[in-house]
Structure 1
Amino acid sequence: MNQIYRSTGDAQSAGDVLTSGSPLSRGLKQRHLSMIALGGVIGAGLFVGSGAGIAAAGPSVVVAYAVSGILVMLVMRMLGEMSAANPASGSFSVHAERAIGAWAGFTAGWMFWTLLCVGVAAEAIGAAGIMVSWFPGSQSWIWVLLFMSVFCCTNLVSVKNFGEFEFWFAALKIGAISLFLVLGGLAIVGALPGSSAPGTANLTGDGGFMPNGAAGLVVGLLISVFAYGGLETVTIAAAESEQPVRGVAKAVRTAMWRIAIFYIGSMLVIVTLIPWNDPTIAKSGPYVAVLDHLNIPAAGQIMNVIVLIALLSAMNANIYGASRMAFSLTVRGQGPKILDKVSGGVPRFAVISSSGFGFVAVLLSYWWPETVFVWLLNMTGAVVLMVWGFIAVAQLRMRRQLEAEAPGKLVVKMWAFPTLTIVALLGILAILVLMASQPDTRVQLYFSSALAVTLSLLGYLRQRTLPTRSPSLHPVPTDI
């Protein structure tokens, strides 16, 4: 029988996976991390949600994805700097606690945990919808139960299972998007049989490059920001890899070209090949519309398979990320003690509780779809931006501490510090202001802010009244 481990005291502080007595396994190989870093950026938000961005911004959606992509690259560079210096399964929650205070780590960590668990529910519902469309006589809840059970069980067995699933999911997504970009590129230059080069007609026609003006560009920007969610998981996973420092460093250093190719490149192909207001974009989605335009047989079903893979991949990653965040918080004295039990190198109670919360959220979507479930979705609407804010503030404060105490840990450095860190922080604040200006996102901002304030107050009260296991800067293995 596997030994049950419960962390005790400072031996498992915020650097919860790097101490010599680490209970978590290092079952992820470099190939797992590399593929997670490559494929994690490609989500259902890109395949499905980008249609709304195109409808709002027109061809200027390329600019929207480029601007938000630059912000994401800055955030990931900051997170990479801190994670390479001190890899931990709590990632930015650990860094926020070290740099700002225990209340900040508590708030960022539980906000992100809530986001991931609600995401599991949303992705399970979406995947079940695709399966019901293929098997009309089946019930949605059966598919939800099946998918959640499979990924809960695989995450319970070992971290290697999570890595293997994500490896193959990511490989399929990368293959699909790469083929789409190749076909689209050939069609743009007129090299695809049966196609002619469209030139700039679709970029400048039908109202011009910005058909809905600055307001449309703003909406497209807001939509594009949330399509990048999920990149943070690689810094959580790196802590359980064979070479955590090398894994984080490599993932962050390749973030720029991944974002440029997969996101910005896709948007450019779509708006160049078909008019931004083509009705098939709203009806079938932008990728299906382009494949139909290129006369690819069974384009709709091909994209359904790809979207299903993206949804299942996100479910798997979110269960993993939520369980590790809950474990890390509990190890630091900021969660229910049962969640810090580890068996076979896996925090199994954290996996079960995270999956269970997600399943409860699914039930809420059936029982109260227009009230409680909508509230949950709204509460997590701006969480990613707020987490990015914690990352920026933490890096701004921690960089100087690292330079003074452990300069050798700065394997990955934020560009033009502190200028670009401040620019990123101002960019995050600007997007939050833009959210407040738009009716569709204003409610999400209010609900997310209420969650943040509530958790901040709870975290502050815990910091004042309860002892916490203060994080310290532990030595890091030299693997790079």
Structure 2
Amino acid sequence: MSTRQMTMIGIGGVIGAGLFVGSGTAISAAGPGIVLVYLGTGLVVVLVMRMLAELATAHPSTGSFSTYASREFGSWAGLAVGWLYAYHWCVTVAFEAIAGAAIAHQLAPAIPTWLAALVFMTALTLVNMAAVTLFARFEFWFALIKVTAIVLFIGIGGVAIIGLLPHHHAPGTSNLLGHGGLFPHGATALLIAALTVFFSYFGTELVTIAAGEAKDPVRAVRQSIRSVTWRILIFYVGSILVVITLLPWNANEVTASPYTAVLTALGLPGARTVMNLVVLTAVLSCLNSGIYSSSRMLFSLARRGEAPKILGRAGSSEAPVAAVLAAASGGFLTVGANYFLPTGAVFTFLLNSSGAVAVVVYLCICATQIASRRNENPAARPANTVRMWCHPYLSYLVGVALVTIVAGMALTSATRNSLAVTIVVTIVAVGAGLIHQRRTLDHRHCVRCA
């Protein structure tokens, strides 16, 4: 991949379906104070990505944080976090396939959702089975469409907020403070909403995984990670602020589709169709990058002996075909389930299945960076690497914030199921890692004895 493609993938990677669709649920749960959740959670993500950039620029690898965890803590840690990450993206691929099919059905009611999901899954699986340059081209244009759409949305919304849009008055602070205040459901609701927000931010790490197939990985990672701050401030915090300023946070239209609701309220013709097409682009982009991320993680695990060997084989195009098929398997199984079961039932099951795995992965990155800095040899550190700010204080502060979010999930019944799923899959992954490491050490011991 070229640096230009990597940079655009990094910029667009933070704009997913979670922003366009999931933000409505977060707004209804927390009220206008959700903008502070996006800001605070975004700052945590910025710091996590800074830590990951420190690791990635020193040792670019397709396995990214999984490889670094193996180096610092042992193969059990790399296996556990690698499989957790691959599992999360397999679920997300299935989730996005159903979401994209539902949008396609709205645009063309004659197309059944299962058929649309099958077409999307097949097309993007084939893209990922081809040379990585094809994936990069698709993701570049997906990213360009998303970035253009969100910038236009913020621009139009900003003009409406200051009262320069014809036939519309400046709303002032009426929608921010006039419907129960900034925190209508209290502070606890903010903590619960943080999990939804975290899910929407997940994917910013994609550029460090793609670094293993980049022409100039260190430069690409440095440029992308360093721009994550303004991307989050502009794309997420800026657009959410536009939504809650222009419309009441508790309006049904905002919960269903906040960006469409704003454009419709401003009287823009064809707003619903245009936003559906943009959201579909975001969904397909997430589906595409999800197959890529999961397959490359499985490929890296297999090359390190922490996954079946077949997943570490590359095809004639140099793409890991078996790993791509494994990464896409969840999506194809979901297509079958969607044929026999209602879309809503499949969608809810997938949403609960992902749990808070994203937060666990970020916790692992945090712990790995702290250990890496403690164990590093300064003389052996490559030049021009990214360094974490105010280490170790900010690193520990991020760890505390992530643990607080996970602990907060136990406070309400709405998130306890997701917490239970997260705990179970994490225990299974860690257990598998420990068993694998023990067997590997026993095998090495037997070889030495022989």
* Partner Cα separation in structure 1 for residue 171 and residue 346 of structure 2: 47
Name the amino acid aligned to 1:458.
A
Kept after mapping to 1: 8 A contact 2:89/2:291: yes
* Partner Cα separation in structure 1 for residue 18 and residue 114 of structure 2: 23
Q: Give the C-alpha shift of residue 409 in structure 1.
A: 4.8
Answering whether residue 435 of structure 2 is matched by residue 453 of structure 1, we say no
Written as runs of structure 1 = structure 2, the 5 A alignment for 1:343-354 is 343=315, 344-354=317-327
Kept after mapping to 2: 8 A contact 1:378/1:448: no
Kept after mapping to 1: 8 A contact 2:337/2:346: yes
* Partner Cα separation in structure 2 for residue 254 and residue 154 of structure 1: 28
* Partner Cα separation in structure 1 for residue 190 and residue 349 of structure 2: 27
- Specify the alignment match of 1:204 in structure 2: 177
Answering whether residue 2 of structure 2 is matched by residue 56 of structure 1, we say no
Written as runs of structure 1 = structure 2, the 5 A alignment for 1:334-349 is 334-343=306-315, 344-349=317-322
Written as runs of structure 1 = structure 2, the 5 A alignment for 1:377-456 is 377-404=351-378, 406-409=380-383, 411-456=385-430
Q: Give the C-alpha shift of residue 399 in structure 1.
A: 1.5
Q: Percent identity?
A: 43
Answering whether residue 59 of structure 2 is matched by residue 86 of structure 1, we say yes
- Specify the alignment match of 1:265 in structure 2: 238
* Partner Cα separation in structure 2 for residue 373 and residue 468 of structure 1: 43
TM-score, normalising length: structure 1:
0.88
Which structure: greater helix fraction?
2
Cα-Cα RMSD = 2.0
Q: Give the C-alpha shift of residue 367 in structure 1.
A: 4.9
- Specify the alignment match of 2:252 in structure 1: 279
Tell me the SS of whatever aligns to 1:303.
helix
Render the CA deviation track for 1:323-369: whole Å, top value 9, x for unaligned. Answer: 10000000000011111111232111111221123312443455567
Tell me the SS of whatever aligns to 1:408.
coil
Answering whether residue 260 of structure 2 is matched by residue 288 of structure 1, we say yes
Name the amino acid aligned to 2:416.
R
- Specify the alignment match of 1:178 in structure 2: 151
* Partner Cα separation in structure 2 for residue 367 and residue 424 of structure 1: 43
* Partner Cα separation in structure 1 for residue 45 and residue 335 of structure 2: 30
Q: Give the C-alpha shift of residue 450 in structure 1.
A: 0.5
- Specify the alignment match of 1:321 in structure 2: 293
Which of 274, 290, 311 lines up with 2:283 in the alignment? 311
Answering whether residue 53 of structure 2 is matched by residue 76 of structure 1, we say no
Residues 179 and 252 of structure 1, relative CA distance in 2, 3 Å threshold: same
- Specify the alignment match of 1:231 in structure 2: 204
Q: Give the C-alpha shift of residue 239 in structure 1.
A: 1.8
Kept after mapping to 1: 8 A contact 2:91/2:353: no
- Specify the alignment match of 1:42 in structure 2: 15
Q: Give the C-alpha shift of residue 444 in structure 1.
A: 0.6
Render the CA deviation track for 1:137-163: whole Å, top value 9, x for unaligned. Answer: 222222122111111111111100110
Instruction: Compare 451-460 and 134-143 and name the one that shifted more.
Output: 134-143
Q: Give the C-alpha shift of residue 411 in structure 1.
A: 0.9
Render the CA deviation track for 1:417-458: whole Å, top value 9, x for unaligned. Answer: 010000000000000011111211111111111011011111
Tell me the SS of whatever aligns to 2:182.
coil
* Partner Cα separation in structure 1 for residue 139 and residue 94 of structure 2: 18
Residues 403 and 375 of structure 1, relative CA distance in 2, 3 Å threshold: farther
Instruction: Compare 430-439 and 372-381 and name the one that shifted more.
Output: 372-381
* Partner Cα separation in structure 2 for residue 203 and residue 377 of structure 1: 29
TM-score, normalising length: structure 2:
0.94
How many residues are aligned here? 442
Tell me the SS of whatever aligns to 2:382.
helix
Ranges in structure 2 where 5+ consecutive residues have no aligned partner: 445-450
Tell me the SS of whatever aligns to 2:314.
strand
* Partner Cα separation in structure 2 for residue 365 and residue 101 of structure 1: 40
Kept after mapping to 1: 8 A contact 2:247/2:254: no
